[in-house]
Every structure is written in C-alpha cells, then in structure tokens.
C-alpha cells in the first residue's frame, strides 16, 4: 500500500500542469486585458492602454489561492504616460484597476 500513495501524489501534481495549457493561459490573458482595459476607460475616458508590462498569477487568500490574475499595464491618459495595476477576478470575470503614480 505504501508505493501507491507516492504514485497518487505524483499523478495529482502533474495533472495540474496538464490543465494549464498555452491556449488556456492565452485565453485568460486576453479576457483579463479586455476587462481591465474596459475598467480603465470607464474610470478615465481618455485613457489608452498600450501594452502589458507584467503579470502575476495565483493571487488570493490561503483558501482561494488562485482566484485573481494581475496585470501591470502601460499607456497614456490625455497624452501623459500612465501605468495601471489591475486585478482580474477569474470567477466573477470582473476587474478592479487603479492608476499607479510614477515618481
């Protein structure tokens, strides 16, 4: 019975990696960027998102460790450089974005 337990752990650990395909990551990234851009332009109508500067996955509390996906976005607001931090809720499919003050 002892050899079965490590084998089950190995299968469980590798199955999570199989679930995260490149197309799944690309779909998540596209959904997050679209929702974040919509939230940013809702807050500032003259905002234009140009690029993604960074991504963070697996954000959440201990019991909800993979609920949020974060994007750091570059762009312009009324011809001035801007940068936003956006948290995308993967379950609710909503976003909260805030402009980051550059110093």
Per-residue pLDDT at 4:
52
What's the pTM value of the predicted model, to 2 decimals? 0.76
Choose between 64 and 70: higher pLDDT.
70
Which structural domain, as residue segments, surrounds residue 40? 22-99
69-86, pLDDT tens digit by residue?
Answer: 999 999 999 889 999 999
Q: Where does the pLDDT of residue 3 fall: very low under 50, low under 70, confident under 90, or very high at 90 and above?
A: low
Residue at 80 is within a domain: yes
Structural domains of the chain, count = 1
User: What CA–CA distances, in Å, run from 41 to 17, 46, 75, 78, 88?
Assistant: 35, 7, 11, 12, 15
Closest by CA position to 74, among listed 40, 43, 45: 40
Residue at 85 is within a domain: yes
Residue at 5 is within a domain: no
Q: What is the DSSP letter of 10?
A: H
Residue at 13 is within a domain: no
Share of the chain above pLDDT 90, in %: 59
């Amino acid at each position: 019975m002892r050899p079965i337990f490590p084998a089950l752990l190995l299968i469980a650990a590798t199955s999570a990696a199989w679930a995260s395909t490149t197309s799944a990551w690309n779909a998540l990234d596209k959904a997050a960027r679209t929702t974040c851009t919509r939230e940013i332009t809702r807050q500032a109508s003259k905002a234009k998102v140009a690029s993604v500067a960074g991504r963070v996955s697996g954000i959440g509390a201990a019991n909800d460790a993979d609920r949020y996906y974060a994007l750091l976005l570059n762009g312009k607001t009324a011809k001035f450089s801007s940068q936003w931090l956006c948290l995308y809720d993967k379950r609710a499919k909503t976003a909260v974005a805030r402009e980051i003050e550059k110093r």
